[in-house]
Amino acid sequence: MDLKSGYPWWAVRNGLMHAFPRLDGDVRCDVAVIGGGVTGALVAREFAAHGHDVAVVEQRDIGWGSTAASTALLQYEIDTHMVDLAKQVGEDDALLAYRACVEAVEALQALLSQLGGVGLRRSDSLYFASRRRDLRGLRREYEARARHGFDVAWLERADVQGRYGFEAPAAILTRPAAGVDPYRLTIRLLRGLEDAGMRVFDRTRIEAIEPRSRDVLLRTDAGACIRAKHVVLAAGYAAQRWLAPRVARNRSSYAAISDPLDAGVLDAFRTTMAWETARPYLYFRITPDNRLLVGGEDDAVDIPARRDRRVAKKAAKLFDRMCSMFPEAAIVPAFSWAGTFAETEDGLPFFGPHRSTGPRVHYAMAYGGNGITYSMLGAGLLRARVERRGHPLAKLLSFARIGAD
């Protein structure tokens, strides 16, 4: 799959940081992770940190697929409001999912602080009403989160204007949240695994997956074989090729980044990221190198050539919106890009096996606007499955919830 268009900032800023070797011989391991993006890196780290022998295989260069196109907002909020999710999966499970995402963001912050050098910036999250008609739903969501003990505050129009300098009918301010450089994070994680003796291969394509009674045999395009006790498919949106039922819809999202802002411009957003109630939603944050990073304008395009042609026009719309919100900011566009993402009906990811590929092949489908948060959460869930331990989210995030297990 061609997963991105234009000039993703992380690729421009970092270049190709490290080349891992191709797989040119047979390998045995406990857990083989297919996919060398941020999801695969977090999953591989989780298994390796708990004594499993891990091998990672990526068909491109490591971190060069959807990870390089991510805007990497680390939030606990699911694209589906908690009150709406409760109607789909029940209040207890909706609350469980939201609380698990809070724990995942906190765990990510601790991990990224320990790693260092990955552009971590802790922040609040400002979720603002796009229109007056969104106020009722936003207030209902605020009250539900407040009732259940989430760290959330209600801001009236004057509060938003006074603290953040733009007009919105109201907003809720939440924490924890953070921003990160997803490409550097992926490289740092996988180089750390390599240094610890784990094997990481890029430019190696898996052509066949053969589940067996005691292991899984993977065959590469060059004829090499990997024999693993368990396999995790963390290949992002390309993982759907191995799955018979269609469980998500591929879409395109667009992003752009500015030249460095002048001192004092949009200072409030150096510690606060923002997004809105409209769907598809606009979102933005300030990077550690003082650039405005903005995303949105999502559409149903899943044809790379059509997506490529839309990047410039979509980026112009994103910057026009920013300039209308902040007319005194003197925002100068620098780079723009687009990437493939997928969304599920309820906004929740899928982690675990599917009956079509057997109990030793596990899917890590961290689909949604907070995919990195899902990846952190799902890594622990998958390890629990492999180690035959229970996990509170195992059923909810399985294919069983849509009757496709």
Q: Give the tens place of pLDDT for each residue, 89-119.
A: 999 999 999 999 999 999 999 999 999 999 9
Task: Give burial (CB, 10 Å; 0-12/13-18/19+) of 234.
Answer: buried
> Is the per-residue pLDDT at 263 higher than 70?
yes
What is the three-class DSSP state of 129?
coil
> Is the per-residue pLDDT at 304 higher than 90?
no
Task: Identify whether the C-beta of residue 183 lies closer than 8 Å to the C-beta of residue 14.
Answer: yes
**Average pLDDT of the residues of the chain:** 95
Residues 330-373 pLDDT 10s:
999 999 999 888 899 999 999 999 999 999 999 999 998 899 99
Residues 371-378, mean pLDDT to the nearest whole number? 97
- DSSP one-letter code for 267: G
Domains of the chain and CATH, by start? 4-69+183-247+347-402 (3.50.50.60), 250-343 (3.30.70)
What proportion of the chain, given as a percentage, has pLDDT over 70? 99
Distance separating alpha carbons of residues 87 and 96, to the nearest angstrom:
14
Query: Please, which residues have CB within 8 angstroms of residue 260's CB and are 6 or more apart in sequence?
Result: 289, 290, 291
Question: How high is the pLDDT of residue 240?
Answer: 84
What is the three-class DSSP state of 210?
strand
- One-letter amino acid for residue 303 of the chain: I
DSSP string, 225-240: EEEEEEEEE--GGGGG
Residues 182-203, mean pLDDT to the nearest whole number? 97
Question: How high is the pLDDT of residue 48?
Answer: 98
Query: Please, which residues have CB within 8 angstroms of residue 40's CB and are 6 or more apart in sequence?
Result: 33, 34, 56, 58, 232, 234, 235, 364
> Is the per-residue pLDDT at 235 higher than 70?
yes
Question: How high is the pLDDT of residue 1?
Answer: 55
> Is the per-residue pLDDT at 181 higher than 90?
yes
Return the ∠ at Cα 346 (arms to 252 and 43), rounded to 5°.
Answer: 75
pTM: 0.96
pLDDT band at 140 (very low <50, low <70, confident <90, very high): very high
Lowest pLDDT segment from 4-13, 101-110, 133-142, 211-220: 4-13
Residues 35-70 pLDDT 10s:
999 999 999 999 999 999 999 999 999 999 889 999
Distance of CA 168 to the CA centre of its chain: 27
Residue 360 Cα distances to 6, 59, 147, 207, 261, angstroms: 38, 21, 40, 18, 50
pLDDT band at 234 (very low <50, low <70, confident <90, very high): very high
- DSSP one-letter code for 264: T
Other CB atoms closer than 10 Å to residue 110's CB: what's the count? 10
